[in-house]
Structure 1
């Protein structure tokens, strides 16, 4: 179970290594300034999946009447500017 921990900016400066370890383990660490939430301390996560154009080809399908629009929908968008 993850915990939510709030520490002041001063406490965070003096305990950064311990707070970083807690964040890495999944706890929510909120750094406060003047008694109000100011920053969330989060672990870095590498992006392992590179974007590849066309990777969903054949998975997503559009209906044959995709381009056909109802006039009331068009009017709804255009008349509410």
Structure 2
């Protein structure tokens, strides 16, 4: 069975899991290093105002034909 969990790899190589992981026996694992995705500042600054618009009553119904 394959399972993926999020982790952070420290500069010294230490792997810190973001959630507890329990296994029945010793298991092999593969660690894949992901490049940090830069989030444009404009996206962060507009998130709150867009959320207010998206969370209005009726928004889901208005866009339901696109699902």
- TM-score for both structures, normalised by structure 1: 0.21
- Which is bigger in relative contact order (C-alpha 8 A, separation at least 6)? 1
- Structure with the higher strand share, 1 or 2: 1
Greater Rg by CA: 1
- Structure with the higher helix share, 1 or 2: 2
